[in-house]
Amino acid sequence: MSLNPRIQHWKGLNVWIVGASSGIGRALAQDLIVTGARVTVSSRRAEALSDITPAPFLCLPCDISQPESVQAAIDRLQAADALPDVVFWVAGVYHPMPSHALDLNGVRETFEINTLAGYTGLKLMLKAWESAPARSRHWSWISSVAGYRGLPQAAAYGASKAALTYLAEVTHLELKSRGIAVSVVNPGFVATRLTARNDFTMPAIITPEEASRATLDGLARGEFEIHYPKRFTRWLKFLRLVPYSLYFRIMKRTLPKS
């Protein structure tokens, strides 16, 4: 039984991708434009949005750390009669850091963008949807497997994604009765600007194009949690189930030698 309505036909649907200038969001935009969806793309870098091909329906530069910027983008969507049927909340930042050397500015930015901005976007979009004719909607949060359990170097990033996944679960439960389906996407490693700074071998790393296809396949199956690549994420899901004593013993081996 699927937990969400299956999205198998995108033609004519209004889609808003927040965080579309690079990586997974950009690949999603490119795939969806080809299906005939009316895709609006947002992120801070206007020039990076404007060279997406084929051209999106609308480019709305927006900084999600600024509520007035998010509201201005939603106002533009409303004015263009393009309030989204589907929102992909993709934008995120990554500041790897060990807990014995916290960079507090990095911690703040991580929570600001990866977590708090999600609350802002959701609140403002719900208000806009309420004032529009009722129809079924879908909100997809791009979270991360880093939120499953404590990982080295992920004191800020992993915690911000754990909170986002929690928000995804609550919103899935509570918004269904209002006609809003909610999914959460938990990628493993994807080769993007975000992971380019990792100086370790990333197991089972995939391309943004593969990530986009796996996301759309999961939505077509009506999944709540879309995770990939399975050869990596199933292993992490197993680690989520083991007792702390075993988990810490296994993870100790992944700590850098000091």
Ligand X SMILES: NC(=O)c1ccc[n+]([C@@H]2O[C@H](COP(=O)([O-])OP(=O)(O)OC[C@H]3O[C@@H](n4cnc5c(N)ncnc54)[C@H](OP(=O)(O)O)[C@@H]3O)[C@@H](O)[C@H]2O)c1
Q: Which residues bind ligand X (CB under 6 A)?
A: 19-25, 43-45, 48, 62-65, 90-93, 113, 142, 144, 187, 189-190, 192-195
Of 151, 144, 148, 231, the residue nearest 192 (C-alpha): 144
Tell the smallest beta-carbon distance from residue 209 to ligand X (Å).
Answer: 11
When CB distances to ligand X are compared, the closest residue is 23
Alpha carbon of 85 to those of 2, 14, 42, 148, 157: distances in Å?
19, 5, 16, 29, 29
Nearer to ligand X, 4 or 143 (CB): 143
What residue has token string 């507090």? 104
Q: State how far the Cα of 99 lies from the Cα of 156, in Å rounded to an integer.
A: 9
Tell the smallest beta-carbon distance from residue 82 to ligand X (Å).
Answer: 18
Tell the smallest beta-carbon distance from residue 88 to ligand X (Å).
Answer: 9
Q: State how far the Cα of 227 lies from the Cα of 184, in Å rounded to an integer.
A: 8
Tell the smallest beta-carbon distance from residue 249 to ligand X (Å).
Answer: 25
Nearer to ligand X, 64 or 159 (CB): 64
Tell the smallest beta-carbon distance from residue 103 to ligand X (Å).
Answer: 17
What residue has token string 């299956």? 6
Nearer to ligand X, 20 or 83 (CB): 20
Nearer to ligand X, 12 or 75 (CB): 75
Nearer to ligand X, 172 or 187 (CB): 187
Long-range contacts of 46-55 (CB under 8 A, 24+ apart): 48/21, 48/22, 49/20, 49/21, 52/20, 52/26, 54/30
